[in-house]
């Protein structure tokens, strides 16, 4: 009898441990959960934005811990904490997750993915060189602006040939066909379309829209054959492009160096996967952000006319190519404000770090008396640190009425705005060693795309119910009700 009682008590204790894992001193305090092992995984997966806001509020807007599928997730938001976390780059990293992404999403063979992990600093430095240094990114910017102007001109000619003088397109597809194509041409060159057996942008769009989340977690091929066929087509197109580029001069200097670099480090399949990863990074965030920005421009009362006036003031004329090298984004502050406000409201990215070894950080928080106090946080090995952008972006102390689309919050006070500084109140591109090097190009391409559409066309959303996607994650935006845009030549 004693043995049975002991076994039962042991089982109860074990279940209690599963429900409430132990926490070391100075670990962010846990938010209680009801489901053993799984913890908050259902709420986290169902409505991540709402769940994180709720969880953070449970500890009075201070760092906390939640249990997600058996792992501790530490949630942080304050800039001083985030900076301290990013400084611990040796023990707080994302390597294991990135290897899984390389294999599952981009199609790297295991050996190539492991090798890429070892040369990640070299890959990052190469991208930084071409995306953050003016002598390297200015030629690509100029090429993008030229391609965008040509595509807009061809689109206007297509409108003219239409019997009704207007065209109707799915807004996400329209953004891909204009902006994403111009960006892809600027970096990859024309052979990405002319030397391939399929349109890689069409396959990319459908691949991400239909299977992104499931591919990331490794759902097997037999369970979603069509999705993996789209991935195969993307990799085949990139392989064909690389073969054509090896024998002929094509594409930007960045792509030439990337292709040479990948040829020195990866197998043929790994080489294709590496350049597919760049095509992905170039378009996966920019396309839905530009699409959602355009929807806001078309639905916010008076905003379209205000932006058109700004283009006129900047000297832009309909049906004439815009000299973006001197116009955007510095001379289009209202367009820029729309871009920042779209990032604030719709980007749901997180900076994620895995705790490789027990680690501690020291930060400073304001006490109830208003004084700065040193605070130490300890992280246990195997846990995850989650720094969600949405906590900062919807912080009412930084952004009044955070659930309202209000671009003037980012407009300079001299122009009638509120002068909020996006550099200190937004976190849409991660941070630390994973700070997105494409952030400067993304702003320029999206502002240029919006300016081109507003300057040259009269546009309207034809859906009876105008519904703007909540999230700018590609799969979420693609699977929200698609907004159909009718456009014609500008009349006034």
Residue-level pLDDT at 11: 55
Each residue of 407-466: pLDDT tens digit?
A: 999 999 999 999 999 999 999 998 887 789 999 999 999 999 999 999 999 999 999 888
Tokens found for residue 406:
């209000």
pLDDT in tens, 231-257: 999 999 999 999 998 766 678 999 999
Strand, helix or coil at 183? helix
Q: What is the pLDDT of residues 21-32, one digit of tens each?
A: 788 889 999 999
Of residues 305, 309, 310, 300, the one with CA closest to residue 332: 310
Residue 12 confidence (pLDDT) above 60? no
Q: Higher pLDDT residue, 2 or 338? A: 338
Alpha carbon distance 361, 353 (integer Å): 14
Q: What is the dihedral of CA 278, 340, 304, 172, to 10 degrees?
A: 30
What pLDDT, in 10s, does the model give residues 138-159? 999 999 999 999 999 999 999 9
Distance CA 441, CA 187 (A): 11
The answer to whether residue 194 scores a pLDDT higher than 60 is yes
* Cα–Cα dist 52/46, whole Å: 11
Q: What is the DSSP letter of 179?
A: I
Contacts of 488 (CB under 8 A, 6+ apart): 159, 165, 166, 167, 457, 458
> What percent of the chain stands above pLDDT 70?
95
Q: How far is it, in rounded angstroms, from Cα 394 to Cα 430?
A: 16
Would the pLDDT of 219 be above 70? Answer: yes
Please give the Cα distance from 365 to 385 (Å, whole number). 19
| pLDDT of 17 above 60 | no
- Which of 200, 189, 174 lies closest to 143, judged by CA? 189
Residue 369 exposed, middle or buried by CB count within 10 Å (0-12, 13-18, 19+): exposed
Q: Could you report the per-residue pLDDT of 255-307, keeping only the tens digit for each? A: 999 999 999 999 999 999 999 999 999 999 999 999 999 999 999 999 999 99
Assess contact for 265 and 186: CB atoms under 8 A: no
- Quick: pLDDT tens for 410-422: 999 999 999 999 9
Q: State the pLDDT confidence band at 37, using cuts at 50, 70 and 90.
A: confident
pLDDT of residue 319: 81
Identify the pLDDT of residue 420.
Answer: 96
Per-residue confidence band for 4, with pLDDT thresholds at 50, 70 and 90: low
Q: What is the per-residue pLDDT across 297-356, written as a single tens digit (0 to 9) for each?
A: 999 999 999 999 999 999 999 988 888 888 777 889 999 999 999 999 999 999 999 999
Nearest to 154 by CA among 133, 196, 112, 182: 182
pLDDT of the residue at 81: 93
> How does strand 71-75 pair with strand 384-388?
parallel
Which segments of 162-224 does DSSP mark as H helices, in order?
A: 171-175, 181-188, 191-194, 200-216
The SS3 assignment for 386 reads: strand
| Cα–Cα distance measured from residue 275 to residue 281, given in angstroms and rounded to the nearest whole number | 10
pLDDT of residue 360: 96
Confidence tier at 1 by pLDDT (50, 70, 90):
low
Q: Is the pLDDT confidence value at 8 over 90?
A: no
Distance CA 8, CA 404 (A): 54
| 312 close to 465: Cβ distance less than 8 angstroms | no
For residue 25, give the nearest of 354, 358, 388 by alpha carbon. 358
């Amino acid at each position: 009898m004693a043995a049975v009682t002991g076994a039962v008590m042991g089982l109860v204790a074990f279940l209690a441990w599963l429900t409430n894992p132990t926490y070391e001193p100075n670990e962010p305090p846990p938010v209680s959960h009801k489901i053993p092992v799984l913890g908050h995984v259902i709420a986290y997966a169902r409505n991540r934005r709402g769940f994180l806001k709720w969880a953070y509020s449970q500890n009075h807007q201070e760092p906390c811990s939640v249990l997600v599928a058996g792992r501790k997730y530490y949630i942080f938001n304050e800039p001083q904490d985030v900076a301290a976390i990013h400084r611990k780059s040796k023990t707080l990293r994302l390597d294991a997750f990135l290897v899984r992404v390389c294999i599952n999403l981009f199609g790297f063979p295991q050996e190539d993915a492991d090798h890429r992990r070892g040369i990640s600093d070299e890959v990052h430095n190469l991208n930084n060189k071409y995306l953050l240094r003016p002598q390297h990114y200015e030629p690509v910017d100029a090429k993008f602006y030229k391609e965008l102007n040509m595509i807009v001109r061809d689109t206007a000619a297509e409108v003219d040939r239409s019997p009704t003088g207007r065209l109707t397109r799915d807004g996400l597809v329209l953004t891909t066909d204009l902006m994403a194509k111009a960006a892809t041409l600027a970096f990859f060159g024309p052979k990405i379309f002319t030397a391939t057996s399929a349109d890689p942008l069409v396959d990319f769009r459908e691949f991400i829209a239909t299977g992104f989340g499931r591919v990331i977690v490794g759902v097997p091929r037999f369970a979603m054959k069509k999705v993996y066929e789209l991935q195969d087509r993307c990799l085949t197109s990139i392989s064909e492009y690389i073969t054509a580029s090896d024998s002929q001069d094509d594409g930007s200097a960045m792509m030439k160096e990337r292709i040479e670099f990948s040829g020195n480090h990866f197998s043929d399949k790994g080489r294709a996967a590496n350049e597919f990863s760049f095509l992905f990074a170039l378009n996966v965030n920019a396309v839905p952000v530009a699409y959602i920005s355009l929807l806001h421009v078309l639905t916010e009362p008076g905003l379209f006319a205000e932006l058109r006036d700004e283009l006129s003031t900047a000297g832009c004329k309909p049906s004439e190519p815009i000299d973006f090298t001197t116009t955007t984004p510095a001379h289009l502050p209202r367009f820029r404000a729309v871009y920042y406000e779209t990032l604030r409201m719709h980007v749901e990215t997180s900076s994620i770090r895995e705790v490789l070894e027990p680690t501690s950080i020291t930060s400073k928080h304001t006490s109830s008396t208003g004084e700065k106090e040193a605070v130490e946080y300890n992280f246990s090995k195997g846990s995850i640190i989650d720094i969600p952008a949405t906590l900062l972006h919807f912080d009412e102390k930084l952004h009044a009425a955070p659930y309202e689309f209000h671009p003037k919050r980012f407009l300079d006070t001299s122009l009638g705005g509120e002068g909020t500084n996006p550099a200190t109140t937004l976190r849409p591109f991660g941070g630390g060693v994973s700070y997105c090097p494409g952030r400067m190009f993304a702003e320029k391409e999206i502002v240029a795309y919006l300016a081109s559409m507003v300057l040259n066309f009269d546009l309207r959303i034809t859906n009876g119910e105008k519904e703007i996607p909540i999230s700018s994650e590609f799969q979420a935006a693609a699977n929200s009700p698609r907004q159909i845009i009718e456009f014609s030549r500008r009349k006034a």
